[in-house]
């Protein structure tokens, strides 16, 4: 099911954001995988296409990571280490 841009717009207005990306997963009954959907909103219409490309990348990675728990755990550990280095 598609999530309308209006919903992302509502979130942006309610919480004071200029850009919103909604990533959603829906269980696929035939396989042990998930189908994804992404919806974006950008206050600056000139940047909408770019934000959509980011959402495509994030959505694809979300599905891939979700289906490979070991890789997800390893990647998450590396991210936490990088954040600790920065702080």
Q: Residue 58's closest CA among 20, 10, 28?
A: 20
Alpha-carbon distance of 69 to 87, in angstroms, equals: 27
Task: For residue range 21-66, list pLDDT tens digits in order.
Answer: 999 887 777 655 567 788 999 998 888 899 999 999 988 888 788 7
Q: Mind spelling out the 3-state secondary structure of 8-28?
A: HHHHHHHHCCCEEEEEEEEEC
Domain ranges of the chain: 5-86
Give the pLDDT score at 31.
59
Overall residue count recorded for the chain in this entry = 87
Give the pLDDT score at 63.
79
Give the pLDDT score at 34.
65
Choose between 35 and 82: higher pLDDT: 82
């Amino acid at each position: 099911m598609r999530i309308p841009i209006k919903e992302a717009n509502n979130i942006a207005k309610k919480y004071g954001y200029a850009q919103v990306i909604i990533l959603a997963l829906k269980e696929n009954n035939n396989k042990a995988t998930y189908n994804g959907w992404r919806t974006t909103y950008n206050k600056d219409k000139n940047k909408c296409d770019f934000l959509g490309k980011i959402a495509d990348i994030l959505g694809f990675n979300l599905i891939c990571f979700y289906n490979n728990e070991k890789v997800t755990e390893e990647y998450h550990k590396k991210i936490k280490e990088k954040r600790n280095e920065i702080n």
